[in-house]
Amino acid sequence: MTTRIRNINPLQLGIVYAVLYALLGVIIGVCFALIGMVASSMAPSGAFSFGWLSVIIFPILYAVIGFIAGLIVGFLYNLVAGWTGGIELTFTTSPVGAAAP
């Protein structure tokens, strides 16, 4: 069975991107926090470090950027799909319990 994606809801895509980017922001924030802890332990006292604050800032920042990117990508996809016909997907079905080909 072949189907085409001809239209994407940009708002829904923005929400999905926001959640994905927020998860990525958590991972990057934890990495920055760990690096900051190591760096601050080697620096003289009073040195400023993002530390664990990056675990809060990065997910929020990435979620906002992801939402905006999702809106833009959704609108652009709909525009291009109108010109090209969209992405063609092929689906196969198999009985329950059967091995996939």
Alpha-carbon torsion angle 89, 93, 96, 98, nearest 10: -100
Write the pLDDT tens digit of every residue in 44-99.
665 556 677 888 999 999 999 999 999 999 999 999 999 999 888 888 887 777 66
Q: Is 68 exposed, middle or buried (0-12, 13-18, 19+ CB in 10 A)?
A: middle
Mean of pLDDT values over 2-11: 90
pLDDT category of residue 33 using cuts at 50, 70 and 90: confident
Domain positions in the chain: 2-84
- Most confidently modeled range among 12-16, 32-36, 94-98: 12-16
Run of H or E residues at 69: helix 54-84
* Cα dihedral across residues 65, 67, 52, 35: positive or negative: negative
Strand locations in 19-97 (E)? 87-90
Helix (H, G, I), strand (E, B) or coil at 9: coil
At residue 67, the pLDDT reads 97
At residue 101, the pLDDT reads 60
